[in-house]
Structure 1
Amino acid sequence: MTTIALSSFPVLAMIRHGAYHQRQNTPSALQPFQLTEEGQQEVVLAAQRFATLVKENNWQISPIIHSSNQLRAWQTARIYQRELADLFSETPTHITHNDLSERSVGCAANLTIDEIENILNKDPRFDSAPKNWKSDSHYCLPLQGAESLMIAGERVANYLLSQSNKLHSTQTTNNEATEVKLFFGHGASFRHAAFHLDVISLCDIKRFSMHHGEAVMIQQQNDDRWIHIAGEWKIRKQANSYND
């Protein structure tokens, strides 16, 4: 469906990585594994659908592509770069940044949920983790380097906001085409970022997910509000059980 951008700011495409070789029962933020073959193919198809939307709207894709440092997001960005090759006005540059990463569990990275909970239970300094701590937006593990989902979302939101303002400030007044900027990252941190930008409500964080490889597009308005422009959120079947 053709969508019209409503302001002079760029459209930001938040694109979740494709399915990857994820270690089970393990918080997924810093897992270093690659996309599955199925995940690669679903990203190819998603990128082709995205290209159609760009053409329908006569959008211009920014040649600066951003992704988190996790391999699954990096690979997803590279597939999009290949599939959208004819739509870039110049050879694209791919930038990776820790600010687009998923919520970090700090020094407990890549341990299982049971291992993390056992560490807290045996450490006299800490209380036991609450039930469903992994999906609690506000809970932060009391471990070095750990973040809550809300903190991670704020980090991502600040990155998106800075890039939106940066691109807007450098746009020429005679450029009528709306520019689309691509960001490849992770579902939970993108959703929490959308909350911080007032695109979705607090209850929507648990109600929504993101489809693998698909873009959800948002845009800053001239009055500094943010709105959802295009792309569908995925509706969760179980509100309290999710990974990135």
Structure 2
Amino acid sequence: MTDRFAILVRHAAYHQKPGTPSALQPFGLTDAGKEQAMAAGREVAALAQSQKWRLAGEIFCSRQLRAWQTATLLSHSLSDATGLDLRIKEDEALAERSVGALANLTIPEIERTLQEDPRYQIPPENWKADSHYRLPAQGAESLLEAGTRVADFLKNRLSVLNNLADANAQVFVGHGAALRHAAHHLGVLGFEDIRRLSMHHARPVVLKRAQDKTWHHHTGAWKERSLLENTTD
């Protein structure tokens, strides 16, 4: 077994509803986001050439439009640069942390809904950035739970690559917070780094699964989060 590489790409910039958890927002990329996605394909092609990676023919993405569009545009420019025949495969395992039945409500609307429901307490302050907190709504999960889901998917897909002699690297297009929490579960990021770091839109961060099955940051820069930056992904 040789080293395997997970090329992680956060979706490009999109038309996000303000003040609203981003998980299941159904909106597409902005014009700038489309340019970012095309540039990502060229960047992955250059990395693959310099690192001598053999890219798998499938690009995995979440089912959100912004991720699918990013993966699709990335695949076009990557194919142009490499001649590869690439396929897009959507999988819910790559989604951002779900807020369940409260999806696409603003943060004040979520808090007011819970305040008016006699079964629940008002969420703690800054609940959205709390890695451990899960909203008391059907289908909701914590950021750490979302990270476990994504980490398991990455491990399973790179295990499949072990059986493909012609590929040792695969592209995954997902969402910043879920990808960072996955990196924590894989032993790549310390817990304190999850909030300190973010991901640039459509800029690859590459993790290596070594022959001993340990995971490491290989290349690509995390985004340093400013003190005043909102924790939205």
Query: Within the alignment, does 1:27 sit opposite 2:21 as a pair?
Result: yes
What CA deviation, in whole Å up to 9, does each residue of 1:48-97 have, x standing for no partner?
22221211122111101100000000000011110111465752221100
Q: Deviations over 1:149-197 (max 9, x none)?
A: 00000000000000011111x133xx6xx62200000000000000000
Unaligned runs of 5+ in 1: 1-6
Which residue of structure 1 aligns with residue 103 of structure 2?
109
* Residue 3 of structure 1: aligned partner: none
Q: Which residue of 1 aligns with 2:152?
A: 158
Q: CA deviation at 1:19?
A: 0.4
* Mapped pair 1:91 → 2:91: no
2:54 counterpart letter in structure 1? Q
Aligned twin of 1:133: 127
Aligned residues with identical type, % of pairs: 44
Q: Does 1:149 align with 2:143?
A: yes
1:205 maps to what in 2? 194
Question: Matched residues in 1 for 2:83 and 2:34: separation?
Answer: 25
- Helix, strand or coil at the partner of 2:202: coil
Structure 1 match to 2:45 = 51
| Contact 2:39-2:74 at 8 Å conserved across structures | no
**AA of the residue aligned to 1:171:** L
SS in structure 2 at match of 1:15: strand
**What does residue 4 of structure 1 align with?**
none
Moved more, 44-53 or 156-165: 44-53
CA–CA separation in structure 1 for the residues paired with 2:230 and 2:145: 19
**Mapped partners of 1:87, 1:157: distance in 2:** 29
Does the C-alpha gap of structure 1 residues 89 and 63 become closer, same or farther in structure 2, counting only changes over 3 Å? farther
- CA-to-aligned-CA distance 1:80-115 (integer Å, 9 cap, x gap): 110111465752221100000000000000000000
| Counterpart residue number, 1:39 | 33
Q: C-alpha separation between the residues in 2 aligned to 1:93 and 1:127? A: 45
With 198-207 and 233-242 compared, the bigger mean Cα shift is at 233-242
Q: Which runs of 5+ in 2 are unaligned?
A: none
2:164 counterpart residue number: 171
Matched AA of 2:193:
D
- TM-score, length-normalised on structure 2? 0.95
Task: Tell me the residue number matched to 2:231.
Answer: 242
1:100 to 80, 94, 101: 94
Shift, 1:12, TM fit: 0.5
Q: Is the 8 A contact 1:15 1:214 kept in 2?
A: yes
Instruction: Give, in whole Å, the separation in 2 of the partners of 1:240 and 1:56.
Output: 34
Residue 191 of structure 1 pairs with residue 180 of structure 2? yes
Equivalent pairs, count: 233
The 3 A distance-change label for structure 1 pair 186 and 199 is same
CA RMSD of aligned residues (A): 1.6
Shift of 1:136: 0.4
Structure 1 position 221, deviation (Å): 1.3
Helix, strand or coil: the match of 2:184? Answer: helix
